[in-house]
Structures are given as structure tokens and as C-alpha cells.
Structure 1
Amino acid sequence: MFESGQLNPEELAKVAGASMSPQLMGQLFEQVRAMMSDSTGPVNWELATKTATDLATKEQREASSNLTGELQKAFEMAALWLSEVTEFANSETPKQLTRKLWVQDSIPLFRELAEPVATSMSKALSENLRGTVPEELAGMIGPASKFLQNAGAVMFAAQLGQAVGKLSQNVLSSTEIGLPLSSRPGFVTQNLEAFLSELEVQKSEMLIFLCIRELATSALYASNRWLREQLITQVREFAAGLRVDLSSIQELAAQVDPSDPSTFQSVIESGALITPRTQEQETALERIELLLALVEGWADAVSLQAASRLPSHGALMEVLRRHQAVGAAQKTFATLLGLELKPRLQRESMAMWQQVRLSLPLAKADSLWSHPDQLPNAQEIQNPELLISRINGSDDDLDQELRNLLG
């Protein structure tokens, strides 16, 4: 593209992996022309939002009025049943979202998660330019570095916008990626209607079960405000440590076929530009995965208990798990971090929460979420008796201290 001195809109769109309207391509070129001006930051979020919105609205339609009414009734029933099995609640009115509204809700969260990755890559490319440029061209470093940073902001925005736009076409709920997009639970009704139409199980039961699961996850975050910030902080700290493998850039460049721009996208998506994770990052990933598994396992355990009146609640859980295995959470964290959520760990977390909730009073079981230090560790997930003994032992120690004080 640079050798020819020309910018072909169709080829540039292919390189970004984006399917864009002529209007959006025009907006992209506005950004290209601005690459030599003031920096737009590590990600051009205006472009990312427009790219995602363009994809989200491409085949958007309204869900049937029947589903809208059924969903409201299902949420009311779900809230009643959920109140019987947990003290956590969310008083916010559930939302019925279009794909476009889901994008609008999700962009602030993706901004929090993705900017450290983009910043690290932009910094690495800029430093590489300074380290490799011939001495006689040192005076050009400033403008060239600015151009690279702004070009990276545009390309990263196009790639991220496309990923978010594609997610909007498949995601079911506001909490499906494991983190709540907003304080309100909700569903993308168009996607929910398509999902329900393909099921062999009772659709009315599945709708209630999905509402229970959505309310449970939303209530957990609403009642424990530290939890969302803890996860976001862990993800950002890990992402800030990502580095570009500068030594492999030339080798990877040889894999790009100029006649097939999709090969450039494949190289980026393969993660080959990122250096191997350090031991500190591996440990950070384990913490993220553990906390996400605890959230998902708790929501599963509570949902199954609340949905015990539904004759096929076990089958409904398996249907949901199959959806989760290829769903938004898997794609989101794999794309951003190379983090693959392990279904095994989630299942074991659910089994642990089920045993804890049978062995401890409801209030005591819920109180484990009051502080991160209270939560089960990996060993306690594998052996719930260790957790139950720890909690009961802490109570015994407190009782003894009170007796000593009063005696």
C-alpha cells in the first residue's frame, strides 16, 4: 500500500478484516488523513464504535411482541424464585436490547479492557522504530512515530469494532461475557428469539431459566460492588504487561501475501506478534480465570436451585453450557488476552458452591463474597470440605475470643 503511494478503500477494508459501508470507509479515510496530526490515542474509539454499530445494525430487526411480553413475565417469576435462594438482588429494571443498544452498552467496558493492550503495542512499535532507524534518518523519527501510533489507533479500532459488532449478532444477555455491561440485566431480544427457535427443549422453561441466570449474575455484581472493579483491574494489569515480539516482525512479514490482505489479519489474530507470557502474567491469568470461574459457578449453582420447579432444569443447564462453550465470553477473553475459560473449572466451581450452600446457612454462604480474601482458592474448589472447615473454624475462633474477653 505504501510502496504504491495509493490507498485502495476495498483493500484497506480487507486488511482491517472489516466489512464497511462506503460511508464508513469515507470516515476511515478521514482518520487516515489525520494520521500525521495530533495523536488520537491508542484506540480511535469513535471509529471503533461506528464500525461496531455498522455491523450491529446490518441485519437488525425488532423481536416479536409475543417475546417482549413473555420476557417481562419470565423476569418477574425469576426474581421471585431467586429471592428464595440468595440474599443478593438487583432492583434495576431489566432491559430489552437491540443489537445497536448492546454495542452502545458494551463499548465503555471494552474500552477499559482493551486500551492497555493497544497502548503496549503502540509503545513497542514506536520504541522499535527508534532502535532500528539509521542514524542519518534520526530526524524523521518524531513524525514517523506519530504516524505509526495514529495508524495503529485506526487499525486497532477497525479490528476491535468488527469484533464487537460480530459479538452483537450472537450474544444473548448483558452479562454473557462474564462482566456486566451496565447495572441493569437484559437480553438482546433478536438474538434471544433466534436462539429459542432452534431449541428442542421447552422454550417457555428455557426463557425462565435464562432470566434466572441473568438476574443471578447481575445481582451478584450489584450486591458486591468490588467484584467488577477487581476483575477489570486484574485484566488491565495483565494486559499492560503484554509486549510485541519485535524480533519476529520481519519473519512474520514474509508470511503476508500482498495479493491476499486476509493473510495480514491472520498474522495479527494468531497472536504471533505478542511475546510469550512471563511467569507473572501466567499467575495473573490464573487469578482472572479463577475469579471468573467462581462467578460463573456461583451463578450456575444458584440458578439450578432457583429453577428446581422447572421439570427439565438439568437439561436447560446443559443447553446453556453448550452455548457458553462457543459464546461471547470465550471469544472476548481469547481475543483480548489469549485467556481460555476452562469449562471443567466452571463445573467444579458450581459443584463446590452447591456443597457450600447445602452445608452453610444462606447468609453465611453469601457472605463469602463480601471480600476477595474470603473467596475460595483453587484448592478449596477441588475440595469444598477445606472451605467449609475454614469458615466454621473462623467462627469457632471468634467465639473463643469472645469467651476469653468476657471471662
Structure 2
Amino acid sequence: MGSDIPFGFGNLGGDLPDPNDPRVQQMMQQLQQMMAQSLSSGPVNWQLAKQLAESELADENIVGPADQAAVSEAVRLADLWLDGVTAWPSGVSATDAWTRKQWISQTEDSWKQLTEPLAAQMGEAMQTLVPEEMSGMLGPMADLMKGVGSALFGAQMGQALAKLAGEVLSSTEVGLPLGKTGVAALLPGNVAAYAEGLELPVEEVRLFVALREAATHRLFTHAPWLRSHLLGALEAYAREIRIDEAAIEEAMSEIDPTDPEAAATMDLSEVFKPEDTEQQKAALARLATTLALITGWVNEVVADAAGERLPTM
């Protein structure tokens, strides 16, 4: 590492940053504001995540009544077809059509469950990175290091959510219901783009996506233990992750605190210990097996339900 001074201050030159230097004072003010906001946000600064994600999705079209009606009809027909291939009744209590931004807001609670255990560990590790010789100058900043981790995870989640929002077709695209229980939701804009890429009629693609959405809701409604089983495996994996504090310090030393986009572009892949523990391997095996079974069941019933009705899919 090129400097022993963390958090970007090494770029100022000298052994220790001068607290009277206007540049240091400006950086400290920005960091204090960022961390004060993040500290009250929990392990992940979700306000920052949503702001960053939505800023990348600023030009999307709204979902109108015609889209809502088309999604509702597709899910209704999909459930009718599924009734003929499975004894489980419908798991859909309502339908919805989302924009990409709505997908982010509607799935936020699920992402919190999935990411906050890991983010909390990183926040605790961040508190250990303030050198003793700087503690007098930084004062309460040492107690606010969790805020740095919260902001970093918020920025990273913002990027990830924006990317996913541009690709997902429904609320269950990642293998488990991310929205409210029983609400079958499609993203008409993404479905239309997907159909265009396949050069297929959007009506057929919408119905196929609705079949997968309705089938997944049916499965999770009548096997309610599946969701907690998946989340339990993810949480078990996260509990065993070890943070490489030296890697965090090195990564932070390369960040310019005056650049608000630096946290979003920081590569966090190097800060986690690369070798999985035995407990993590077991958790991953449970997770992979369960997801494979879910995907297999959905594929099977959707294929049976579609039959010759959707030959192009």
C-alpha cells in the first residue's frame, strides 16, 4: 500500500493530515455529513441506494391502465392453465404492473433481508481502521465508521439494483418472491424489450412470463417454508464471511473523499476472505440445491401448462 494514512488522506502528502488544512477540513465535513446520514440508515444506506439506482432509470416510461389490464389478463389465463397441471390452487391474490423504479421500491424489504447481515459485519470492521495516532484529530469519527460501510454498501446496492431493474421481467425473477406475498407483478417495459430481442409477439412472451410468475407464487404459497429456508441459507453464509481489514484500508486509501461517485465504483470483491468455511460450503450447497429444485419444478409445470399453446416459447 502506498500510504499508511487511510480514507484518501494519504494523497495530501506528509505523514499525517494537517487538521488546519482547508482541504482536510472540507473532506472531513463531507465525510461527517455522509456518515451522519448513513449511521441513521442501518447497515445499508438505502436512501443513497435508491437515489443512485433511480438516477440511472430516469427516462423510463410510466405504466398505464392498458399495461395493468394486459398483465392482469395474462396472469388470470396463466393461473387457469396451471390449474390443469398441478393440484395446488392459485397463490396469486393480486396482480400489478411495475416500472423499473417501482420494482426497486416494491422489493426493498426483501433486499434488506438479503444484504444487511453482511453489511453489518463490514460496518463493524470499518470501526477498527482509524489509527490510534489519528484518534485525537478525528474524535467521534471513529464511532462513525459504520456510516462509511453503510454508504459504501448503499452505493454498491444502488448500482446493482439499477442493473437488475433493467433486466428482470417479474417479481420472482431471481428465484424467490421479492415483492409482497401473493402479488404477481410483471415489468411491461422489460417484457416488451425482451420480446423485441427474441423477435416474438409481446403477447406470447408476456403470457410465458406470467406462467412462470404464477407458478412460482403457487409454489411459495403452498410450501411456505421455502422462503425462510432460502433466507436462512443466505444468512448462514453471510455470518461466516470474514472481512479483510487490510484490504478495506487499502481500498479506502485510494478513494478521493471529494468524489461522490467514488464509493459507487469501489470494488468490494477484495475485502472478503476468499476461502469458504465448511459452514459456508454447507450453506451454499443447501442454497444451490433448493434453487435448482425450485427452478426445476417451475420449468416442469410451465412446460406442461403451455403445451402446444405457446409453441414458440
For the aligned pair, the TM-score class normalised by the smaller chain equals 0.7 to 0.9
CA offset at residue 142 of structure 1? Answer: 6.6
Sort the Cα spacing of 1:267 and 1:176 in 2 relative to 1 into closer, same or farther, 3 A.
same
The alignment-based identity, stated in percent, is: 30
Deviations 1:308-354 (A, max 9, x none): 03252xx52xxxxxxxxxxxxxxxxxxxxxxxxxxxxxxxxxxxxxx
d(CA) in 2 for partners of 1:120, 1:179:
24
Sort the Cα spacing of 1:224 and 1:7 in 2 relative to 1 into closer, same or farther, 3 A.
farther
Q: In structure 2, which of residues 24, 27, 49 is the aligned counterpart of residue 5 of structure 1?
A: 24
Higher relative contact order (CA 8 A, sep 6+): 2
Query: What's the counterpart of residue 156 of structure 2?
Result: 159
d(CA) in 1 for partners of 2:304, 2:155:
43
TM-score, with normalisation over the residues of structure 2?
A: 0.79
5+ unaligned residues in a row in structure 1: which ranges? 9-28, 317-407
Q: How does 1:5-404 map to 2 (within 5 A)?
A: 5=24, 32-33=32-33, 35=35, 39-40=39-40, 41-56=42-57, 58-63=58-63, 67-88=67-88, 89-129=90-130, 133-134=131-132, 143-181=140-178, 182-183=180-181, 184-249=183-248, 256=254, 268-269=267-268, 271-276=269-274, 277-312=276-311, 316=313
Report if aligned partners of 2:127, 2:142 keep a CA contact under 8 Å in 1.
yes
Equivalent residue letter for 2:46: W
Equivalent residue letter for 2:198: L
CA offset at residue 216 of structure 1? Answer: 0.2
Report if aligned partners of 1:125, 1:244 keep a CA contact under 8 Å in 2.
no
Sort the Cα spacing of 1:105 and 1:66 in 2 relative to 1 into closer, same or farther, 3 A.
closer
CA offset at residue 93 of structure 1? Answer: 1.8
Equivalent residue letter for 2:149: G
d(CA) in 1 for partners of 2:297, 2:255:
47
Secondary structure of 1:198's match? helix
d(CA) in 2 for partners of 1:70, 1:268:
41
d(CA) in 2 for partners of 1:38, 1:298:
41
Tell me which moved more, 153-162 or 117-126: 153-162
CA offset at residue 112 of structure 1? Answer: 0.7
Equivalent residue letter for 2:280: Q
Report if aligned partners of 1:96, 1:188 keep a CA contact under 8 Å in 2.
yes
Deviations 1:20-60 (A, max 9, x none): xxxxxxxxx6x84263589322222233333333434x012
Equivalent residue letter for 1:274: F
CA offset at residue 202 of structure 1? Answer: 4.2
d(CA) in 1 for partners of 2:134, 2:290:
49
CA offset at residue 85 of structure 1? Answer: 0.8
Equivalent residue letter for 2:59: E
Report if aligned partners of 1:205, 1:310 keep a CA contact under 8 Å in 2.
no
Equivalent residue letter for 2:213: E
Sort the Cα spacing of 1:258 and 1:139 in 2 relative to 1 into closer, same or farther, 3 A.
closer
Query: What's the counterpart of residue 332 of structure 1?
Result: none
5+ unaligned residues in a row in structure 2: which ranges? 1-7, 13-22
Answer with 1 or 2: which has the greater Rg: 1
CA offset at residue 245 of structure 1? Answer: 1.2
Sort the Cα spacing of 1:141 and 1:278 in 2 relative to 1 into closer, same or farther, 3 A.
farther
Aligned length: 286
